[in-house]
Amino acid sequence: MKRLVLILPLVLALFSPLFLSAKKEESKKKKIVLIAGSRSHASGEHEFRAGCMVLAKALNEQSGLDVEAVVVGKDWKNDKSVLDDADAVFIFADGTSGIAGEWEYLDGLAKKGVGMTFMHYAVHPNPEQGKKYYQPWIGGAMESGWSVNPHWVADMKVMKDHEVGNGVPETVTCLDEFYYNMRFVDDRKKVLDLVTATPTRDNMHKYINLWNQHGVDGLNKEQTLMWGYERPNGGRGVGFTGGHYHHGWALDGFRTVVLNAIVWTAGIEVPEGGVKSNPLTEEDLNANLDEYGKGKRHLKLPNPADWKKLKPARVDEKREAKFKAK
């Protein structure tokens, strides 16, 4: 017994550094919080929660990265502690609903260097909010009267020599409501054009409510669909206008570039081959969809070749007469 008492301190002395080292390694895990908005639109559209679940599963179970991804709803403000230790925040929701009125709290996170990604409708605040918050956070935002929101078949191309493009094919074809002509910070050179595509009359699928002169002027010109921003005082932000249709997640390149962007904002080096994720099966694509009763759709895996066969959208001549083609 006496011998055991003498040996025990030696054992503790030997193993304590290993224990402390393990705790230190554990503390290095990056935390990513994904904020999902509530149900809206029709089944298969604006599937915010299901989309966040796809991303979280990839990050937690498939990426091989030392990260913890947590999905919350827009009621996160009832327990802000979930964001207190976040390294990055991803918001996928209608308008600014994912911010839940907590502008100053999120502004404080941004000023601490927390990464931020806003996807699809979440990039659309009002002009004042865009100028005060979105531009400092992510470098730009959608703006009514300035930006447009047509549905079109984009041949997405990633920025060369940037890690967000790692492992992404040269071209990713996707039908989506890709907004374009964002309102960026005044120093446009500080905004990274991470994903671009060129809208044309031929690849337009549908012109909707916000179509305007700027949309016409932007035809046949390369437009930024995903942008990146490195804040002067530290931290990174990303905006991505795609994500209206849930089918995009089944496209490996689409899914990979979003995962890469999230990881980049968290301050993690993006793997050379991109963030790993498993191809989605039809079952995966339909998992966690919002409930619509009889209106709930069963989604098929998309085939981009089918989108290329779509006829161009009908042009509203009466509305277009107000615009001057350039």
- Give 91-119 pLDDT, tens digit per residue: 999 999 999 999 999 999 999 999 999 99
- Give 167-198 pLDDT, tens digit per residue: 999 999 999 999 999 999 999 999 999 999 99
Decide if 20 is inside a domain. Answer: no
Question: For the chain, what percentages of helix, strand and coil (3-state, to nearest 5) are there?
Answer: 40, 20, 40
Amino acid 40: pLDDT: 87
Pick the more confident residue, 128 or 296. 128
Amino acid 21: pLDDT: 46
Decide if 312 is inside a domain. Answer: yes
Decide if 17 is inside a domain. Answer: no
Domain tally for the chain? 1
229 band by pLDDT with thresholds 50, 70 and 90: very high
Decide if 326 is inside a domain. Answer: no
Apex 27 CA angle, 233 and 29, nearest 5:
70
> At 34, which CATH number?
3.40.50.880
- For residue 269, give its domain range: 30-288+300-320
Question: 215 near 181, Cβ under 8 Å?
Answer: yes
15: pLDDT strictly greater than 80: no
Decide if 168 is inside a domain. Answer: yes
Please state the φ and ψ torsions of residue 114, each to the nearest 5 degrees: -70, 130
Decide if 36 is inside a domain. Answer: yes
23: pLDDT strictly greater than 50: no
In this structure, of 18-27, 209-218, 265-274, 303-312, the range with the lowest mean pLDDT score is: 18-27
Amino acid 28: pLDDT: 74
CA distance 220 to 5: 81
* Structure-block tokens of residue 190: 């500080």
- Report the 10 Å Cβ neighbour count for 16: 10
294 band by pLDDT with thresholds 50, 70 and 90: confident
Mean pLDDT value across the chain: 92
Which DSSP symbol is given to 180? B
- Give 192-221 pLDDT, tens digit per residue: 999 999 999 999 999 999 999 999 999 999
* Structure-block tokens of residue 135: 């531009």
Decide if 266 is inside a domain. Answer: yes
Amino acid 20: pLDDT: 47
Decide if 18 is inside a domain. Answer: no
25 band by pLDDT with thresholds 50, 70 and 90: very low
3-state DSSP call for residue 284? helix
Question: 86 near 35, Cβ under 8 Å?
Answer: no
Give the CA-trace dihedral at 160, 185, 253, 203, to 10 degrees. Answer: -100
Give alpha helix (H) positions in the chain: 2-27, 48-57, 81-84, 103-111, 127-129, 135-138, 213-217, 252-265, 282-286, 304-307, 317-320
Amino acid 2: pLDDT: 52
Amino acid 5: pLDDT: 52
